[in-house]
Amino acid sequence: MTNKLAEINAVIEKYNRFLITSHMDPDGDSIGSQMALYYSLLNRGKIAAVVNQGSIPAKYRFLDSDNIIKFSSDKLPYTPEVVIVLECPSLDRIGFVRELIPESAILLNIDHHNDTENYARVNIVDKESSAVAEILYFLFEEDGSKITPEIAKQLYAAISSDTGRFRFGSTTSRSMYVASKLIEKGANPKEIADNLYSGMAPGTIKLLGYTLASLKIEAGGKIGYFAITRENLRKSGAMIENSEGFVDFILSINGVRMGFLFKELSDGVVKVSVRSQNGYDSAEFASLFNGGGHTNAAGFSKKGEFGTVVNNIIEKAREYIRECN
């Protein structure tokens, strides 16, 4: 990976105008990584913008308190020379941001997904990294770029988020080493944890209650799933992005090996989050529905009537469980 890091840093050194983006509906790793890279570019005297399709879940808003990330397809005030895509397996998944990329732009791709396409001039795809933020740490180290306390906060939050508080199977000695170095450079674990995992709004707690109450267990206890309906969103007063992290409760149930969270969106689309453990592959299952992700965490969307979509996917999950046994 070292040669690729040097190659990307050489591009950054040569050019001045940058666009940073990630997958639609950004999560903790994509937000923290984008913000860390943004501040690093500014510290190098570069011009940069961060644009995503979607919105920031409430628990991650402290990472962008200055509203740096834009969620509009408005034309940029400059023509980017370099576009850096973080944590996104294909360009199709950046949504409208693709329209902001000029043909002349150099594409850089930094990711750790299992199914990433090599769509850029320089591709760093390190499947052993727990998060893209982990790769960025070494990118900054390779170039000697200063990791300020703000950058350290962003990277630490991203790694903590993508490892499920350092408890997913993706957590390695290297990710713990990087986390420790980020603490040395100014990241405050308690402050970050309080923002990520505490301080939820009353509506979020109500929505969590409705979601936990929807639990169903299938396949002899190996499959568990929750559902978030539009009706429960209305009753709770919460927004769909407030449900970030709800799916992780499923794997805490004794015996569950695959967990699902089904979200009923307003446009007739069902968003599905997948979690797995003990040898079952979330990304492999998600690929059956043109989705993707990591071994233990993945996702996809499917259009259709909510109940029908849920039943069809759970039936497919039963088949998948049988095939894996």
| Closest residue by Cα to residue 88 from 122, 121, 125, 59 | 125
Chain centroid, CA 13 distance in Å: 27
Question: Do 125 and 112 touch, CB atoms closer than 8 A?
Answer: yes
Structure confidence by residue, pLDDT tens digits, 110-147 = 999 877 889 999 999 998 999 999 999 999 999 999 99
| Domains of the chain with CATH codes | 2-197 (3.90.1640.10), 202-324 (3.10.310.30)
| In contact, 307 and 293? CB cutoff 8 Å | no
Those residues of the chain that have pLDDT short of 50 are none
pTM of the model: 0.87
Exposed, middle or buried, 47 (CB in 10 Å: 0-12/13-18/19+)?
middle
3-state secondary structure of 70: strand
At what angle are helices 149-162 and 132-143 packed, to 10 degrees? Answer: 150
In tens, the pLDDT along 32-87 reads 999 999 999 999 999 999 999 999 988 899 999 999 999 999 999 999 999 999 99
Q: How confident is the model at residue 166, as a pLDDT?
A: 92
Q: What's residue 76's pLDDT? A: 95
| C-alpha torsion 199→203→207→208, nearest 10 | 20
Strand pairing category for 223-228 and 258-264: parallel
Distance from C-alpha of 85 to C-alpha of 209, rounded to nearest angstrom: 36
